[in-house]
Amino acid sequence: MSELWNKLFSDAAVKQKASPIREIMSVIRQPGMISFAGGMPDPEIFPVKEFYDSAEIIKREGKDILQYGNTDGYAPLKEFLSEWTQERMGRKVSSREMLITSGSIQVADLLTFSTIDKGDYIVTESPTFLGTTLDMYNHGARFICIPCDHQGMLVDLIPEKVEKARAKGKKVKYIYTIPNFQNPVGCTLSMERRKKLLQVAEELELAILEDDPYGYIRFDGEDLPPLFSMDNKGIVVFGGSFSKILAPGTRVGWCFGDPDIIRKMTVFKQGVDTSTSVISQALVYEYCRKGYLDALLPKIIDHYRKKRDVMETAFRKYLPQGEVEYNAPEGGFFYWMKTAGIPTDELFNKSIEKKVAFVKGEPFFPEGGGDHEFRMCYTFASFEMIDEGVKRLGEAMRELL
């Protein structure tokens, strides 16, 4: 490496962390590899024809949508989201409360820009989605980690941990949660804990970032109301995304929140990317306007429910009984696996030898952990690959046992 660049790197560049999922992509792409690693949708269910049909908006409005757009988002898409989310949110969200983003990770990025100074703390579930915590860490944030069980974050632990941090002079700014089918654990925050989380946040004067990319992909049980819909104090920022319910290549997400924080986030976005691709926003809008999204969602839910069930069946068929702990998710993309008798590092290496990949648990813990835990994604692989991949995983486990 050039000595010049070593001298020029910022503190953030020197201390930055990369995504381990992105780092192992070369391994995952080896010929014959079955991957349960990346949290990717199944391309076989992508609505290619319908999205292509939606491109007619370019002919109709090309002179406008090929131009620079408003930073806060394409107005027709914002109006659609206000109408489409009205039932879940309990009301129509106004344009002033909404920002269109380049994927849902940008919601966390812009909120962190707007609230976090170097060394400030964010309360987060542990384990949690490493994409957002890496972004937060690279902004200078540090973490207060709250464990999860099958009902989500153990909210009762938050006050004591926050007060201890504040007693040491630390500033704690907001709580980060993935309430529905959490990545990576797959758990859903119970109604009781949703109410308690809002109460705790209000009492501690903390904001909440509600990250909900999977909320529409429920297989079993009843939908629970978003924290945003239960919030009457304006403390919740809700993040949504088309990545899991349409296609990740659109790179279109959105957030709802109090107009004051939305304005701050919008100004930071001006300097980050000017605006989310207007072409992408317009295509997504036209696709949704034609009713294609509402028609696709039941197909997605049914397709991924079947894949979850195939993986569950394969677990019972191939994995050594009594050696693996997991809970079936009610929706979303992931199983979270615990193997008390097998270190994850050893299992990963043995599994790669057998041409099957998963994501090790450690990167999902901001403060360390996960030595005997790992994440399995069931949405990307075919039904046949799920069965064969779990079979190979079971062989790897038995050899190590």
DSSP assignment of 163-213, as one string? HHHHHTT--EEEEEE--SS-TTT-----HHHHHHHHHHHHHHT-EEEEE-S
Closest among 272, 275, 292 to 284, alpha carbons compared = 292
Please tell me the distance from the alpha carbon of residue 309 to that of residue 288, in angstroms, as a whole number.
Answer: 29
pLDDT score recorded for residue 22:
65
DSSP state of 94: P
Nearby residues of 242 by Cβ (< 8 Å), 6 or more positions away: 250, 252, 253, 284
Please tell me the distance from the alpha carbon of residue 219 to that of residue 329, in angstroms, as a whole number.
Answer: 8
Contact 177, 208 (CB under 8 A): yes
Closest among 140, 199, 173, 180 to 261, alpha carbons compared = 173
Please tell me the distance from the alpha carbon of residue 395 to that of residue 319, in angstroms, as a whole number.
Answer: 8
pLDDT score recorded for residue 15:
80
Q: SS3 of 57, please?
A: helix
Residue 171 main-chain phi, psi, to 5 deg: -100, 125
Distances, alpha carbon 136 to alpha carbons 49, 101, 158, 319, 390, in Å = 37, 17, 19, 36, 34
Distances, alpha carbon 40 to alpha carbons 249, 264, 367, in Å = 11, 31, 26
Question: DSSP states of 220-271 as a string?
Answer: SS-----HHHH-SSS-EEEEEESTTTT-GGG--EEEE--HHHHHHHHHHHHH
Domain boundaries, the chain: 3-47+294-400, 64-291
Residue 176: left if φ>0, alpha if ψ -120 to 50, beta else—which one? beta
Q: Which residue has the tokens 């709802």?
A: 256
pLDDT score recorded for residue 10:
86
Please tell me the distance from the alpha carbon of residue 267 to that of residue 107, in angstroms, as a whole number.
Answer: 13
pLDDT score recorded for residue 30:
79
pLDDT score recorded for residue 7:
86
Superfamily designation of domain 3-47+294-400:
Aspartate Aminotransferase, domain 1 (3.90.1150.10)
DSSP state of 329: -
Query: Which CATH number fits the domain 64-291, given the four candidates 3.90.1170.50, 3.30.2350.10, 3.10.20.30, 3.40.640.10?
Result: 3.40.640.10
The per-residue pLDDT string of the chain (401 residues; one tens digit each, 9 = 90 and over) reads 578 888 898 888 888 777 776 666 667 777 889 999 988 999 999 999 999 999 999 999 999 999 999 999 999 999 999 999 999 999 999 999 999 999 999 999 999 999 999 999 999 999 999 999 999 999 999 999 999 999 999 999 999 999 999 999 999 999 999 999 999 999 999 999 999 999 999 999 999 999 999 999 999 999 999 999 999 999 999 999 999 999 999 999 999 999 999 999 999 999 999 999 999 999 999 999 999 999 999 999 999 999 999 999 999 999 999 999 999 999 999 999 999 999 999 999 999 999 999 999 999 999 889 999 999 999 999 999 999 999 999 999 999 98
Q: What are the start-end ranges of the H helices in 55-190?
A: 56-65, 75-84, 86-89, 105-115, 130-138, 158-167
pLDDT score recorded for residue 38:
86
pTM metric for this prediction:
0.95
pLDDT score recorded for residue 2:
73
